[in-house]
Amino acid sequence: PAAAASAAADSTPTSNASAGGAPICPSTGQACTAGCGATPAGKAIGAGEDDSNTNVREPIFPPELKRRVAKDMTLPGENATWHRPSCLANLLALKKQHPGARLVCGNTEVGVEVKFKSMKYPVIVAPTHVAELISVEVVAGAHLRLGASVTLTTLEETCGRLMKELPKAQTSGLQAIKEQLRWFAGPQVRNVSSIGGNVCTGSPISDLNPIWIASGATFTVESLDRGSRDVAAGKFFTGYRQCDMKPDEILTYITLPLTRPGEYVREFKQSHRREDDIAIVTSGMRARFEVGPGGVATVAELGLGFGGMSFKTVSCPKTEALLIGKPWNDATLQAALLSLAEDLPMGKEVPGGMSEFRRSLTLSFFFKFYVDCCRRLEADGFVAGAVATAGLETADLSAADRFHRAIPMGAQYFQVQDGKQIGQPTMHQAAEVQVTGEAEYCDDVAKPAGCLHAALVLSTMPHAKLLKVDPSAALAMKGVRGYFGAADVPHNEIGPVVHDEEVFASKIVTSVGHQIGIIVADTAEIAMEATKLVQVAYEALPAILNIDEAIAADSYHVYPMFTDHKIEDGDVDAVLAECAAAGRVVEGEARCGGQEHFYLEPMASMVWCGDNDELTTVSSTQCPQKHQKMIAEALGMPCSKVVCKVKRLGGGFGGKETRAAFLNVCAAVPAWHLRKPVSLVLDRHIDMAVTGQRHAFLGKYKVGYGADGKILALDMKLYNNAGNSLDLSAAIMDRALFHSDGAYKIPNMRVVGRCCKTNLPSNTAFRGFGGPQGVLFAEMWMDQVARKIGMTPEKLREINLYHEGETCHFGQVMESSQLRACWDQATGNAQLEDKRAAIAMFNKAHKHKKRGIAATPVKFGISFTALFFNQAGALIHCYLDGTVLVTHGGVEMGQGLHTKMAQITAHNLGITTDKVFIAETSTDKVPNASPTAASASSDLYGAAVEDACRQLNERLAPVRAALGPDADFGAVCTSAYFQRIDLSAHGWYVTPDLEWDWSGAKGRPFNYFCFGAAVTEVEIDTLSGDVNVLRTDIVMDVGDSINPALDVGQVEGGFVQGMGWVALEELKYGDPDHKWIKPGALFTAGAGA
């Protein structure tokens, strides 16, 4: 063919030609004889770059691999031997030879056991290529027989196919399975996970096992010597993760009866989040009805299976027996609900917690099933008026609806400024390399020769004396190169604000996860294994694990310069007394929990030493200067010999401002001693367990108000859970004090803050830095006032909003306030009044689903509350080709800071952004840089860049004047070079007019406020707790946006992250509220926990 001849003539190698030069058929992978290989589709296997039909196509999956016949395979390894038998007989022989072998298809369970539970499996068998185990067959038109190695994706597809092919009456169970799999993990997991693996794991919170039990499924197990036997699903699970299988037996088939007319199956699952989450409670329910004289439906068969209600998946024999022969009516429903409570007992301190919620879910699920069966009996023509006969109203029917979330959609509106650079929605400069995976993060940096890998030895006790730390067994392990502890650190005391921490614990550990030492080894895996061999002996000490215990024990961080601050304005006591006399006071307590940062890139750092005692580190941090300073202090080095570099972060949200620093110091110690590079990258579960989170807060408040709803006085005491060290908790508390007025003018106000000292890992900065907690409490007591006086919440909020020129409780005047404009636009866009009327109608028509709407304003002060942080530097180099290199003190962590700096540079120098490159952040380029935090970095570093550009423009003005206005910037730079004009400039900026002193607690701590408002409509299933956010309108004043596209992303991202904090995410530590968790340990140390 011409295409092939052309390729050969040009000597261009192509992958779509066989060895003989003929095109390859896309269907067979062999030399093409039918000419189809010359078509554009055929060329997709691989074409020359000049082929416009194929240069963006991907190669097809190699047909040879599809046709390959599987053979027995054995791969021996140092820790395990992997077998892949090709037939059932060989599989059974292997299981007889190795009774303790684990059968693994997708490794989604065994992988977890090996990594997190330190399980050892020397023999692993993959049954993925055994024909019988991957078979799917409908038997005698009445049963579906599934091989145990069938993947969950195949199961889902099979159910969908059979639902189209079989009569509807036979597919109720198939539909239940298919619907349950919608919420089972993600596609990648379902593609490899097997049915048999899911069954044999015996998880007490399995999604599918309750359905197998309810549907009357049968499991076939088989051994080489005894042959096969069938076990009813309801009798298969014998204990916690234990099944009715002998050591030499395997599960071969799952047989599911197809349903009959008048037989219905439903699935239920409730988890913290709908998508890809483990269950709190799961259930499968099946009922077969017989319709007798008078059209009364009675229960002929009933199957109930539950997960999450015991140490194994269970059935409900009492309830099942009780309902047989009973009419399907309200009396039967009530009897069933009482019986279920007996079938499913649960104590208060049960593992997993939430016992009351879990018990209520079992009743809610049954009621949903009851309603669903009534609807189906009527719809299928079995019982006329079944809904009414069952005592149900039309408003009850939606209780049986399956959860549905519409595909999200949105519209973004913003103003584009005049100009070519500033104000344009320019794409993030790193967007392309990030989406392709080419973006380089800390652990992607090429490791120097001889680089060692580190893992931390961490405390397992919340508070204890260290009696012995013996690393000898770890040091004897092959590949381990050293252990380092407190004795190896020249100056062991560190801390970002006060030195109340240690690099490594010397005598006492003060939290679970407190670092005791560090192991370095040839690989990260060896280092992690070696940490398990370090023997640590403890003497337990009393532990304080939450705010209430800290208050009771008077346990606070007390540092007079930093803690125990108060802001007071007006005569709070006198006004509250007047309000109390008039009966217009509300008081109470408000609480909010913490939040995990969950940045995509975990904590990481790499350290190496050079000659002359120089030390360089690449770290995932928002504040390289803190790393430089803390490493220098710990090792007794001058800061001038320590360089910290940051290319970009995979997210930070405040979590990498200070808590990354102590980890970098830990890695620096062995690097300094051994003079070898050391890399430390935390596993996700360790990162979550040891690096701290958003602070939990307790607020005790008393609010006085007038007859018109005006808030007259607020007296509030705030407590945060600081953890075992101060870190930034005092500054976070200060910002909470500043923002405790929300967006409301309160003429008489007193707020006091205390930082509770507890035996948890030190909590730290998180987006908002204490501001969200203060604002949230304000919204809580505003709602309480609105309910008491019978005013709509948005009306109460509106009459209390700040006006231009009013003074905050800390003395700052509201200037250029856009608060009311944001409020009016947000409530107007949302059509708040019309929505309230529509919501009232919906709630009247739905008994078990309810909708609500809320409008919330916000003002947020922009500046660091520590005044000295409000300074910034930037360094700009201009090159002779007209390109510009910019280095500034800010860190790019996905928010687009570098992109904005490129826009500012291009705008000021009169060039395009493609001529501007932003270099990595480094302490040897811009020293003493403040953290990239507080929503201030664009202001600070943008102004510093602008200052550097101003200097350059002043120097280049005579050159430009000589060359003319149309001169290329490269020509300008070249001419300036020959005239010996400096083409580098260091810019500097200090935020002006800031004034604050805690001794007087009045001043101007912020450069300005940003304002916003949001209106959100939600729908709640009152039976299950499911929440659907139906619509949100957000209006945010960001001034003249440098880059609207990036700013919209920040607004939307902040909203979603905040929604996760208040409505979804929960940190569970072993404390008095969670006695089933080991004291001080973080149970939720993972995305699925």
- Strand intervals (E) in 677-746: 678-681, 697-705, 711-723
Rounded distance, CA 384 to CA 1063, Å?
42
The DSSP code sequence of 659-695 is HHHHHHHHHHHHHHHHTS-EEEE--HHHHHHHS--SP
Rounded distance, CA 586 to CA 701, Å?
8
Q: Name the DSSP class of 268.
A: E
Q: Kindly report the average pLDDT of the chain as a whole number.
A: 94
Max Cα-Cα span within the chain: 108
231 within 8 A of 209, measured Cβ to Cβ: no
200 within 8 A of 106, measured Cβ to Cβ: no
The tokens for 621 are 């941090």
> Which H, E and C letters describe 160-207, residue by residue?
HHHHHHCCHHHCHHHHHHHHHHHCCCCHHHHHHCEHHHHHHHCCCCCC
208 within 8 A of 229, measured Cβ to Cβ: no
Rounded distance, CA 794 to CA 786, Å?
9
The tokens for 756 are 């509770």
Q: Which pLDDT score is estimated for 56?
A: 53
Q: Which pLDDT score is estimated for 114?
A: 86
The tokens for 341 are 């409570």
1067 within 8 A of 597, measured Cβ to Cβ: no
Closest CA to 759 of 583, 967, 508: 508
Element (H, E) at 990: strand 984-990
Burial class (CB in 10 A: 0-12, 13-18, 19+), 399: buried
pLDDT, one tens digit per residue, over 207-224 is: 999 999 999 999 999 999
Q: Which pLDDT score is estimated for 1087?
A: 78
Q: List CB contacts of 9: < 8 A, sequence separation 6 or more.
A: none
pLDDT, one tens digit per residue, over 358-389 is: 999 999 999 999 999 999 999 999 999 999 99
Neighbours of 842 (CB within 10 A): 13
139 within 8 A of 243, measured Cβ to Cβ: no
Crossing angle of the two packed helices 771-789 and 1044-1063, in degrees rounded to 10: 60
Q: Tell me the chain's radius of gyration from C-alpha atoms.
A: 33
- Strand intervals (E) in 760-848: none
Rounded distance, CA 697 to CA 733, Å?
9
Q: What percent of the chain has pLDDT over 90?
A: 89
812 within 8 A of 1006, measured Cβ to Cβ: yes
194 within 8 A of 155, measured Cβ to Cβ: no
Rounded distance, CA 671 to CA 454, Å?
10
pLDDT, one tens digit per residue, over 286-302 is: 999 999 888 899 999 99
Rounded distance, CA 639 to CA 849, Å?
61
Cα pseudo-dihedral 740, 746, 750, 753, rounded to 10: 0
Q: Which pLDDT score is estimated for 44?
A: 43
Rounded distance, CA 210 to CA 369, Å?
14
The values of phi and psi at residue 114, to 5°, are -70, -45
Q: Which pLDDT score is estimated for 377?
A: 97
Q: Which pLDDT score is estimated for 668?
A: 98
Rounded distance, CA 378 to CA 367, Å?
17
Rounded distance, CA 592 to CA 613, Å?
47
At residue 781, does pLDDT exceed 70? yes
Q: Which pLDDT score is estimated for 542?
A: 98
895 within 8 A of 1050, measured Cβ to Cβ: yes
Rounded distance, CA 379 to CA 939, Å?
63
The values of phi and psi at residue 711, to 5°, are -75, 125
* pLDDT band at 682; cut points 50, 70, 90: very high
At residue 464, does pLDDT exceed 50? yes
Q: What percent of the chain has pLDDT over 70?
A: 95
799 within 8 A of 709, measured Cβ to Cβ: yes
Global pTM?
Answer: 0.92
Closest CA to 905 of 893, 917, 890: 917
Burial class (CB in 10 A: 0-12, 13-18, 19+), 895: buried
Rounded distance, CA 749 to CA 713, Å?
5
pLDDT, one tens digit per residue, over 14-59 is: 344 444 555 656 555 566 665 554 544 444 444 444 444 445 566 7
The tokens for 225 are 């010597």
The DSSP code sequence of 778-789 is HHHHHHHHHHHH
Q: Which pLDDT score is estimated for 22?
A: 56
Q: Which pLDDT score is estimated for 15?
A: 42
766 within 8 A of 1086, measured Cβ to Cβ: no
Q: Which pLDDT score is estimated for 48?
A: 42
- Strand intervals (E) in 224-368: 227-232, 237-239, 242-243, 250-257, 263-271, 279-291, 297-307, 314-315
The tokens for 380 are 């299928």
The tokens for 739 are 């923002």
Rounded distance, CA 502 to CA 725, Å?
10
Q: List CB contacts of 175: < 8 A, sequence separation 6 or more.
A: 159, 163, 265
Rounded distance, CA 509 to CA 303, Å?
52
Mean pLDDT throughout 584-594? 97
At residue 971, does pLDDT exceed 80? yes
At 703, is the secondary structure helix, strand, or coil?
A: strand
Rounded distance, CA 517 to CA 519, Å?
7
pLDDT, one tens digit per residue, over 622-673 is: 999 999 999 999 999 999 999 999 999 999 999 999 999 999 999 999 999 9
Mean pLDDT throughout 800-819? 97
The label of the residue with tokens 């510093």 reads 944
pLDDT, one tens digit per residue, over 688-722 is: 999 999 999 999 999 999 999 999 999 999 999 99
Rounded distance, CA 182 to CA 275, Å?
8
Mean pLDDT throughout 325-343? 97
Closest CA to 144 of 129, 127, 163: 163
Rounded distance, CA 325 to CA 335, Å?
13
